Amino acid sequence: MSRSEAFAKTGRTAVQQNIQGTLEFLQKYPPFNQMDLTHLGFLVENCQLRFYPEGENIIIPEDGPVEFFYIVKQGRIYGERRQGQDSNQETTFEITTGECFPIAALLGERATRTSHIAAEDTFCLLLDKASFIKLFSQCNAFRDFSVRGISSLLDQSNQQIQTRAAETLGSQYSMETSLSVLSMRQPITCEGHFPLHKAVQLMHEQQVGSLVITDEMQRPQGIFTLRDLRRVIADANADLRQPISELMTLNPFHLPPHASAFDAALAMTERHIAHVCLVQDGRLVGVISERDLFSLQRVDLVHLARAVRHAGSVEKLVQLREEIRSLVDRMIAHGASSEQVTRLITLLNDHTVSRVIELCIEEHGDPGVPFTWLVFGSEGRKEQTLYTDQDNGILFEASSQEEANAMRQKLLPLAREINLALDDCGFMLCKGNIMAGNAELCLSRQEWSRRFSKIVREASPENLLYSTIFFDLRAIWGPVDGCQALRRELLSMIRGNDMFQRMMAQSAIQNRPPLGGLFRNFSLDKKGVEKDTLDLKIKGLAPFVDGVRVLALSHGVESSNTSERIRQLVSKGVIERLDGDAYVEAYHFIQQIRMQQHQQQARNELAYSNRMYPDELNHLDRRILRESFRQAQRLQTSLTFRYQL
Amino acid sequence: MKILNWFRKSPELRESDALRLAALAAPIPAQQPLAQQRFVVVDLETSGLNTLKDKILSIGAVTIENSAIALGQQFSCTLRRANHAVSESVLIHQIPPSEVAAGMRPEKALLSFMEYVGGSPLLAYHASFDQRMLVREMNDAFAYHLRHPFYDVAEIVQLLYPEHNMRNPGLDDWVSFFGLQVLQRHNASADAMVTAELMLILLKRAERQGLKTLEDLDVSLQNWRRRQQNTL
C-alpha cells in the first residue's frame, strides 16, 4: 500500500466525520440542498477552508482570472466597485452564510469586476477551478444554479409558495375526499317504463345531466345521460314516447360511497364516462359527475364574477367574499403571480363595489344625480389585497357652486349607505375618513380640480400625504370621462411644477427600506410588541409605490398601477429597462410575501398585519426579500440624484 | 546490544513496521513565512489523563498549509486496545469499547499518523498533554524518540488575544469567543478541526501583529510565559 493510499484509507473516517457536518451545513442552502450526495461529497472533499478577518480582500479585480469557487461558511462579505476615475467606492451587494461567488467571473474565466471584502470575520470554503468545472459538468442542479443565478432562486421560491398553498388546499380539496362528501344532492331517478320525453323533462326540471333508472328497490338498472340524449336525437326515427329502458346504458359503473374522488376520476378517464353511480348494499345512494370532480380543481372565475355582479343582496355578497378568498388560495396554488392575484382581487372588488352601489340605489332610491364612484390608494392602483380599507369619493358634474351644493346634499346620504354596506362586505371603514360619505370628498369636477390644484401649489406635509392617496385615483362606477379629464388636468399641473415634484420626491424617500447599516441583514424594530419585526407595507412596498408615483406623475404617465407605471416609464426612457424589470420583480416579491402572510393569518383566524418576522421566512425567501429591499434602496437613491435631494 | 534492547522494548515489531519506522521523516526546521508553514493539528483521545499509564484510543489530525485546511486530507483512526474498560473519558469521548476493540493495530496507527505528520511541527490545544502521550507511546512501541516541536494553541491564543478576560479559558470558551460554528465536538477529528479553525484565525492575527515566522512566534511565546510566571 502506498503512503497516499494509506492516508486515503485511514483518512476516510475522519473525512467522513468532519465532512458530515459540512455536508449537513451545505444541505440547508441552495443549490446544495438539491445536489445528490455523491456530488456534494465530491465538493466537500475537494474544498479547503480559509479564514478572512474583517476588512481583508478575498478576491479583487487585480488578482486576475478567478481560481476558486467560494462558499461562505460563516460571516459576511460585501462587494465594492470602483466608480470611474474619481475612485468612489460603491457597495454593490452583500453575501452571507450559505451563499457563493463569483460564478460569472469563474464561468467567464476572467477576473472579478468587484472587490469581495470580508465585512466581518469570515470563513469560506474554496473549491478549486478544476473541481468546480467537474462538478459543473456532472451535476445538473449545480449547473442550473450557476447558470441561472438569482432568477433560478426566484423560481424555487415560487415553487415553494405553490407547494405550501397546495398543502393547505389539500385538506379541503384533496383527491382523497370520499365521494359521499362530494355528492351532496339526492340522485334523480325514474323507472324503466318512463317515456323518453318525460325523462328529459325531469332532467331539465332538476337541472341534472344524468338520470339513473332504478327498480322498486332502488337498485340501479341503467343510466341515461345528456350524451345518450344526443345520440337518440341524432337518430331521425327517434320516438319520444318510447320507454327509457330501451335507450339507457345498462349496468352503469358504480363505486361504493367511501371510494375517493381519485378513484372516480380514474374510472371516468379509463371508461370515458362522465357519471359514476354510488351504490351501497345494492342500492343507489348518489351520483358523481365529472363536473363535481372538476369543481375541486378548476377555478371558475367567470362564474364567481357573474355571481357577484348579480348578487341579490349585500348578505349574498358577504358570502361570496369567502369564495373569493378560497379562489385566491387556489390561484396561488396554481402558480399565479402576485400581480395576477392582485389584478383578480381588484376585478372582483370592482364588481363587488359596483354591485353594492346598485343595491344601495335600489334600496334607498336613485338620488337623480349622475355620479362617478372614485377609488384612491391601493384600490386606485389596482393593488388591493383581500384586506383593505375603503378609500373612495364621488365625482359629479355641476355648472355652478349652488348646483354643486344641492347635488352633494342629494348624494351624501346614499354615499354613507354605500360606505356602510362596503364595510359589511369586508372593505373596512377608513379611519382617516377618506370616504365618499364625507362631504369634502363628494365633489363636482371643478371642486376636485381646485382641491388638487391646492395640493400641488401648497405642498404642506398634510397635502403631500393627500397626494399619495388622491393622485392614484380611478373611476370604477358611473361615467369615466370626468375622472379622465380630472387626471389630465392633474398631470399638467404637476408637470409644470418642479417644486412640487421635488417635495414629492423628498417625501417618497422618507420610508427607507429596512436594510440596517451597510452590512446588516434587516433592520428590525427594537422595542415593544413589534420587536424583531418589519413592516412590509410601509418599509417594503411604500418605497416603490411612492417613488414610482413621483416619476409617473412628473412624466405624464396616466396609469395609476405601480408596475404599469414602471413599464410606461421604461418605454418613455425615464427608467432603464433592466432597472425597471428589477423594480417590478422586487415589488411583486414583497407583495407576494405580504399576501402569503395575510392568507396565513386568515387561516389561523388572526388579525391581519403587515408586520412580519423575517426570521420566520425560509432562507431563500429571506435572501430574496433582502435583495428586493435593496432594489427599493436603489430606486430611492436614483430619486436623490434626479431631484438633487 | 542496542538492537537487542530495541527488540525487548517492542517484541512484536514487524518487518514492515520496521521499514516504515526507518523511513519516518525527521522534524524539518521552519524556514518559510508563518502564512505558508505546514502544521499538523492533532487531538488525541485517551483512556485517562495519566500520561505515564494511559493509552491513546484515537487520533484525529488536520493539516494547515498555506493558511488553509484541506477538508479532504484529514487523519483519523481508532486504536485497537485490549481490555479497554469503560472509564470517565469514554463518557466524554463516546468511543464505545466495541469500537476500540475493532480499531487499528496501535503500531500501524501510530506509524500512519507519523507518516501523515511528516516533518511538520505539531499543534494542539493544551499541547503538552498530547506531546507527552505521543512521545511515550512512540517510545513504548518503537523506542522512537519523537522530537517534533509541539505548539500549544491554548498559549498562542492567549498571547494574541490578551483582551479575552477569561480565567483559564478552554477550547469551548474560545469557540464562543470567536463565534465559531462547530458542527460536532468531543471526538478527536472534530476537536482537531475546531482547533485548526481557531489556528486559522490566529495565523491572521499573528501576521497583523508582525510575527512573520514560527521563530518570531516562538520568541513571543517564551516572553509571554515569562510574563505569566511573573504575574503569578
User: Domain containing A645 — which CATH number?
Assistant: 1.20.120.330
Residues A18 and A133 in one domain: yes
Domains, in order of start, for chain B: 36-231 (3.30.420.10)
User: What is the nearest CA distance from A54 to chain B, expressed in angstroms?
Assistant: 11
Is residue A481 a part of any domain in this protein? no
Q: At A161, is the pLDDT very low, low, confident or very high (cuts 50, 70, 90)?
A: low
Minimum CA–CA partner of B185 in chain A:
A18
Instruction: Output DSSP code: residue A65.
Output: S
Looking at residue A169, its pLDDT comes to 41
Q: In 3D, which of A405, A393, A396 has the Cα closest to residue A370?
A: A396
Residues A192 and A119 in one domain: no
What is the tens place of the pLDDT at every residue in A35-62?
A: 888 888 889 989 999 999 999 999 998 8
Residues A508 and A638 in one domain: yes
Strand order in A220-225's β-sheet? A189-190, A210-214, A220-225, A249-250
Phi and psi of A152, rounded to 5°? Answer: -75, -25
Looking at residue A8, its pLDDT comes to 42
Is residue A422 a part of any domain in this protein? no
Residues A249 and A138 in one domain: no
Across A226-240, A369-383, B160-174, least confident range = A226-240
Give the nearest partner residue to B115 out of A3, A22, A121, using CB atoms: A3
Tell me which amino acid residue A269 is: T
User: Domain containing A22 — which CATH number?
Assistant: 2.60.120.10
Q: At A386, is the pLDDT very low, low, confident or very high (cuts 50, 70, 90)?
A: confident
Minimum CA–CA partner of A6 in chain B:
B112
Q: Which long-range contacts (CB under 8 A, 24 or more apart) does A21-24 make?
A: A21/B183, A21/B184, A21/B190, A22/A47, A22/A73, A22/A125, A22/B71, A22/B183, A24/B183
Is residue A606 a part of any domain in this protein? yes
Residues A614 and A543 in one domain: yes
Residues A35 and A76 in one domain: yes
Residue A50: its chain B contacts at CB < 8 A? 67-69, 200
Point out the domain boundary residue: A296, A322, A349.
A296
Predicted-complex ipTM score = 0.86
Interface contact B71-A13, CB threshold 8 A: no
Q: Three-state SS string across A192-214, please?
A: CCCEHHHHHHHHHHHCCCEEEEE
Among B94, B115, B183, most A C-beta atoms within 10 A, so best to mutate, is B183
Is residue A431 a part of any domain in this protein? no
Q: Can you give the residue range of the structural domain that contains A142?
A: 3-148
The yes-or-no verdict on residue A88 having pLDDT over 90 is no
User: What is the nearest CA distance from B29 to chain A, expressed in angstroms?
Assistant: 23
Q: At A27, is the pLDDT very low, low, confident or very high (cuts 50, 70, 90)?
A: confident
Residue A73: its chain B contacts at CB < 8 A? 181
Is residue A521 a part of any domain in this protein? yes
Residues A99 and A183 in one domain: no
Looking at residue A51, its pLDDT comes to 94
Q: What is the model's pTM?
A: 0.50
Residues A11 and A103 in one domain: yes
Residue percentage of chain B with pLDDT more than 90: 47
Residue B116: its chain A contacts at CB < 8 A? 7, 10-11
Query: What is chain B's mean pLDDT, rounded?
Result: 84
Q: At B160, is the pLDDT very low, low, confident or very high (cuts 50, 70, 90)?
A: very high
Whether B193 has its CB under 8 Å from any CB of chain A: the answer is yes
Q: C-alpha A421: how far from its chain's center?
A: 27
Give the nearest partner residue to A21 out of B77, B104, B183, using CB atoms: B183
Q: Between residues 510 and 549 of chain A, which touch chain B (CB distance below 8 Å)?
A: none
**Considering its fold, how many domains does chain A have in total?**
3
Residues A144 and A187 in one domain: no
User: What is the nearest CA distance from A129 to chain B, expressed in angstroms?
Assistant: 15
Strands B68-78 and B56-65, by their bridges, are antiparallel
Give the nearest partner residue to A24 out of B70, B183, B205, using CB atoms: B183
Across B87-105, average pLDDT: 59
Looking at residue A12, its pLDDT comes to 44
Looking at residue A4, its pLDDT comes to 43
Is residue A267 a part of any domain in this protein? yes
Residues A85 and A212 in one domain: no
User: Domain containing A197 — which CATH number?
Assistant: 3.10.580.10
Helix pair angle (A577-603, A338-364), 10° resolution:
60
Interface contact A73-B181, CB threshold 8 A: yes
Interface contact B69-A7, CB threshold 8 A: no
Residues A78 and A203 in one domain: no
User: What is the nearest CA distance from B205 to chain A, expressed in angstroms?
Assistant: 8
Is residue A287 a part of any domain in this protein? yes
Residues A277 and A190 in one domain: yes
Q: In 3D, which of A26, A119, A91, A126 has the Cα closest to residue A619?
A: A26
Cell of A9: 484509507
Is residue A246 a part of any domain in this protein? yes
